[in-house]
Amino acid sequence: MEENKTNGRDEIYSEKVKAGKRTYFFDVKSTRSNDYYLTITESKKRFKEDGFTYEKHKIFLYKEDFNKFVEALTNTVDHVKKELMPNVDFSQFDHVQEREEVATAADTDKPGELDTELKWE
């Protein structure tokens, strides 16, 4: 019999952020007692002699720490933006993925749209 890999922790919601060679996953999960927590996973693809593997680092964040975590993250990012790098226009990084999708769509028959039609050759 196959063991349940989630151990009673059902995934409720998920967001994925691609960031260069890394991907971040923000997942809301539930416990057996219907409580919720957040996992933040950093995944990096590592190449080996016989192929590749994914190196993962995971943080578990519980509801009683949400506000403290968000406040610390916001304060830290604001410090970098305002104190350490005040001359950087961070808005230039806001739509990188959208620009990549538009560039990909430009290679299709209909500019502005992604080619999702299956083609059999």
For the chain (121 residues), the mean pLDDT of every run of 10, in chain order, is 50 91 94 92 89 92 97 97 95 71 52 48 41
> What is the value of pTM for the model shown?
0.66
| pLDDT of amino acid 79 | 98
Q: Please state, in angstroms and rounded to a whole number, the distance separating the CA atoms of residues 43 and 108.
A: 30
47: left (phi over 0), alpha (psi -120 to 50) or beta: beta
H or E element, residue 101: helix 96-106
| pLDDT of amino acid 50 | 85
CATH number listed for the domain at residues 11-106: 3.10.450.700
